[in-house]
Amino acid sequence: MGKGYKNKTCVYCGREGCSETADHVVAREFFLKSQRANLPKVPSCAKCNGEKSSLEHYLTTVLPFGGRHADATTNLSEMVPQRLEKNAKLRRHLISEKGRIWSEEAGLLLPHMTLPIDSDKLNQLFCYIIKGLIWHHWGLLLPCDYFIGASSLTKEGESFFLDLFNKNPRREVNVSLGKGTFKYEGRQGTDDPYITLWRFTIYGGVVFSESSLFPSEKTSITWGLTCHNSLNPNYIFQ
């Protein structure tokens, strides 16, 4: 580990002088081994690194099943089986809870296999990722009195974010990692640099559904937001 990441402030919890490792903001396991160069890194304490790694181990196993990107297919065939071998409990859960939904494609209703996913873990991981990206791109540590949230939304819920996304930001980023395996866009508020808005796409867009028969109207994009707690944006993520 480089000296630049040791004994620094942990980007995730904000404790000073406690970082012990350089954490990859977007886990290397999301990518094929040939696509892991130049991933963003931040200083992290052991506790935050461990909690984030637990979320990553789960999601890098489950998300490739729903990916549309070519690398998701390769990941699914070459790396996911090894992860499931090490996690028999998760393997049994996926097998027992798999189902089927119908979705319309080119005017036809076609069946698709579904697998259960813990959306809370997905949202928690993206909150870590947002904190890491704010530091990586803009050198900012999110204050403790700021809200951070992430979720996949319905098309109606997205309209709120799209209105903000189209405004002129102070700064913005648009990054594609691993040849499109993981894409993100970020916008920083003009009046308050800690107000940020994020849009993420994994594996070309993983579709989430809350119905056992038909897919919900939730999009394949995960949105994230940071703002001061006084703005009370919790209703957006209900």
pLDDT tens, position by position, 83-116: 999 999 999 988 888 876 666 666 776 656 677 8
Note whether 44 and 12 are within 8 A (CB).
yes
- How do residues 142-193 score in pLDDT, each as one tens digit? 999 999 999 887 777 787 778 778 888 899 999 999 999 999 999 998 889 9
Q: Indicate the SS3 state at residue 62.
A: helix
- Paired residues of 75 in beta bridges: none
> What is the rounded CA–CA span in Å between residue 56 and residue 182?
14
Average pLDDT of every residue of the chain: 86
How much of the chain, in percent, has pLDDT values that exceed 70?
Answer: 84
State CA 42 to chain mean position distance: 16
State CA 204 to chain mean position distance: 13
First to last CA, the chain: 40
How much of the chain, in percent, has pLDDT values that exceed 90?
Answer: 61
- Helix 119-138 vs helix 46-62: angle between axes, to the nearest 10 degrees? 120
Q: DSSP strand E in the chain: where?
A: 21-24, 41-44, 99-105, 108-114, 146-154, 171-177, 182-188, 196-202, 218-228
pTM above 0.85, yes or no: yes
